[in-house]
Chain A
Amino acid sequence: MNRRTVVKGLLLFTGGLVLAPSCVMETSKASIRLKNLDISGEDEKLLGEVVETILPTTDTPGGRTLGLHRFTLKMVDDLRGEKDQKAFTDGLDAFKKLAKKELGSSFMEASPQKRQELIAAVNAGKAPQDVLAFYKLLKDHTITGYLNSELVMTKLRVYELVPGRYNPYFPVKTKQQS
């Protein structure tokens, strides 16, 4: 496997994800093959904006560019049982409704400022139970996907496949950062 090739366009899904051609995006289907989840192309875009709000682009790429919404969909589809899958899709619907109610428009149409306010409230637990269940699944997988992404593992928080050493008394400064 040619793993050393630099992240092309920073797409993470070298492993197993077939990204369908863009014309499919315009139809009502999600762009990745899902066995259990029923997710539309619109939903996928919305999830892209939500993960971008959870992990925004700063001086490094954010959740949407890294495809963490698609990563989450695949993980919920493959790793989680039926119960979590239902919680995810039901919660997504509830989230859409909540957005309409709180923002007066869909999440997609709202300004970044408004989106942040809504996610701040949900993140603080101030939302109905079904929305919180959805949000927790999305956030957990987004974080795992981020930390396990090629970008983070090769550039930002480097993972060593072959440390070649063990220092049992590694001196650190108390309360040291990174």
Chain B
Amino acid sequence: MANLNVDSVKQRTFDAIVIGSGMSGGWAAKEFTGKGLKTLVLERGRDVKHLKDYPTTNMLPYEFEHRGELTAEIREKNPVVSRCYAFREDAMHFFVKDTEQPYVQEKPFDWIRGQQVGGKSLLWARQTQRWSDFDFEGPARDGFAVDWPIRYKDLAPWYSYVEKFAGISGNNDGLAELPDGDFLPAFPLNSVEDHFKKQLKAHYGNRHVISARCAHLSKPNQIHLEQGRAQCQNRVLCQRGCPFGGYFSSNASTIPWAERTGLMTLLPHSVVQEVIYDEKAGKATGVRVINAQTKEATEYFAPVIFVNASAFSTNQILLNSTSSRFPNGLGNDSGLLGKYVAFHNYRARITAEYEGFQEYATDGRNPAGGGYIPRFRNLHKQETDFLRGYAAGFRADRSKNSDTSGFGADLKNQLLNPSWGIWKVGSHMMGETIPKAESQLSLSKFKKDAWGIPLLNINLDYDANDDKMVADYHAQMEEMFTKAGFTNIQKTDSHQAPGLDIHEMGGVRMGHDPKTSLLNKYNQLHACPNVYVTDGACMTSTSTQNPSLTYMALTARAVDHAVSEMKKQNI
């Protein structure tokens, strides 16, 4: 340790420490500072200030050297991150490049990371749906993983709490499987999306297309204006950072809010190597940090620690936090730390065309990206030969096209005077995957990174359940597309590696029993209750919803719990 001087220790002591400043860490920072706690936020990446550090945000397409595309050199050097659709010339500076932080793919896994203040909240596609009890009761009903220690009623008020502040647009659709919320006006469906919605209703009754719920200020409330954010202007260039603060990111919302309390100390370039456990005190006392640039080590202290480094990085930190009490990683009495990780199956897509609605197109852009089909398979009871089910995106687009077969003045004329094509429709699957003991993370025994942390070994894969689900999605969607009159139906299975869904979860799962889980119902480590994990690592199962809204709600709830426990001197 660099300095044992008492004053120095005092200066490095806070009321709370939050590891990571992304989607979930930003919420922890906001909640702690909002409750009056002096909070240290440790972020391994650089600072990214709202507006100021969005270098590409107002660039026009022709101002990009390669008009948005990636060079062959970048693709060759970064095969993993290049597979992410959002890794393009306009936002590549917000992604971790393959060589910057290696990991071990025991099986192929595309680990997509955004490491800077704001984490991946700058880059996300902003899709936000609540879970229902059909999701929380999944493991118990279907006999996999362990029972979730919480139910919808535990999280419902916290969903409302985060929705109101973040600003989520959507309709109250009255569906038990996708609970309503506190929404700003939805971005409406277009003619063909509406058509599909009506067709499903007529042919199936229990299959729905709704306006995708998303973290955009369709109509800001006072609380959003107070954050310095304004109405979304339909640019749909969000991954660059939004000059209006039109979508929710930590950078536009929670971090500046926490900053304004004067209680937050945000330290970028601070790589947390491990959480320090004090054997005598019987609790965690702080964290050990390596300066990303100087490699110098410093320790920081606080009575409560939130680990929000993103699902797999959180596993890595906890696995690396060893002591004689916890030789296999902090809180790992059960031996399950790093196990039962899972993800979302995004392999399947289907596209088609529609000859109808020639009298309509769309004008402007839809930040929500179209419609969302909540899970309908195996919802009320088991009805297929695979477990669980899938949600799906659905969108219809009509664009103007030019015939480019000619050349000369004709070609120029075609390019400058395009005509409306027919509607194209498309859907992608978001399938639940089953967490299994053999799907696991561990630390490399041989290789360390530049900051002295053992590399993460990643070992997870699809199984027969996932293959059956892909087949069922294709069959069901094809039937639905056909009933809706769509033609030229094309089904694809990308066979992409897990990871590209960017919804990796688990490894530090919640549960009732310390023997079979790591975290209790308030996200505290059973065996070290002053450490909380509220990012994707805590997830007992994955269900089908885009997960970030749930991480945010769990985080706000856990901070509330932590602060009340501190008041009661329980931690």
Contact = CB atoms under 8 A, between A and B. Distances in A.
Asked whether A and B interact, the reply is yes
Contacts of A152: 415-416
A15 B64 contact: yes
Contact of A123 (B193, B237, B406): B406
Interface in A118-141: 119-120, 123, 139
Contacts of B505: none
B191 A56 contact: no
A169 B190 contact: yes
Contact of A150 (B62, B187, B191, B365): B62
B407 interface: yes
A166 B187 contact: yes
Contacts of B7: none
A157 B401 CA distance: 12
A119 B409 CA distance: 13
Contacts of B189: 168
A171 B360 contact: yes
B60 A161 contact: yes
A78 B72 contact: yes
A165 B408 contact: no
A15 B364 contact: no
B362 interface: yes
Interface string B66-77: 110111110000
B205 interface: no
A174 B416 CA distance: 18
Main DSSP-derived SS at the B contact region = loop
Nearest to A54: B407
Given A16-B65, A161-B60, A169 B407 contact: no
A150 to B, nearest CB: 5
B71 A78 contact: yes
A12 interface: yes
A166 B362 contact: yes
Contacts of B419: 175-178
Contacts of A27: none
A53 B67 contact: no
Contacts of B190: 168-169
B343 to A, nearest CB: 30
Contacts of B71: 78-79
Contacts of A54: 407-408, 411
B61 A164 contact: no
A164 B233 contact: yes
- Of B60, B191, B233, B418, the most chain A CB neighbours within 10 A belong to B60
A1 interface: yes
Contacts of A170: 360-363
Contacts of B66: 75, 78-79
Contacts, number: 146
Nearest to A84: B72
B376 interface: no
- Of B73, B193, B235, B416, the most chain A CB neighbours within 10 A belong to B416
Contacts of B405: 123
A176 B405 CA distance: 20
Given A78-B71, A168-B189, A156 B416 contact: yes
Nearest to B188: A168
Contacts of A9: none
B90 to A, nearest CB: 12
A116 interface: yes
Contacts of A21: none
A3 to B, nearest CB: 6
A55 interface: yes
B536 to A, nearest CB: 31
A154 to B, nearest CB: 8
B144 interface: no
A31 interface: no
Contact of A174 (B65, B233, B358, B418): B358
A116 to B, nearest CB: 7
A166 B364 contact: yes
B266 to A, nearest CB: 29
B63 interface: yes
A80 to B, nearest CB: 6
A146 B415 contact: yes
A167 B362 contact: yes
B415 A147 contact: yes
A168 B191 contact: yes
A159 B366 contact: no
Contact of A55 (B64, B233, B363, B412): B412
Contacts of A119: 407-408
B421 to A, nearest CB: 11
Interface string B411-443: 110011111100000000000000000000000
A23 interface: no
B60 A120 contact: no
A162 interface: yes
B412 A56 contact: yes
Given A148-B67, A172-B358, 20 more contacts: A3-B63, A54-B411, A58-B409, A62-B412, A78-B71, A78-B73, A79-B66, A79-B69, A119-B407, A123-B407, A143-B415, A147-B415, A157-B418, A161-B60, A165-B364, A166-B234, A170-B361, A172-B360, A176-B419, A178-B419
25 contacts: A3-B63, A12-B62, A15-B64, A56-B409, A58-B409, A60-B412, A78-B65, A79-B69, A79-B70, A144-B67, A153-B60, A153-B62, A159-B61, A161-B60, A161-B235, A162-B235, A163-B365, A165-B364, A166-B187, A166-B367, A168-B189, A168-B193, A169-B191, A172-B361, A178-B418
| Top 5 A-B pairs, shortest CB-CB distance | A16-B65, A170-B363, A168-B190, A165-B364, A166-B364
Interface of A: 1, 3, 12, 14-17, 53-56, 58, 60, 62, 75, 78-81, 116, 119-120, 123, 139, 143-150, 152-153, 156-157, 159, 161-178
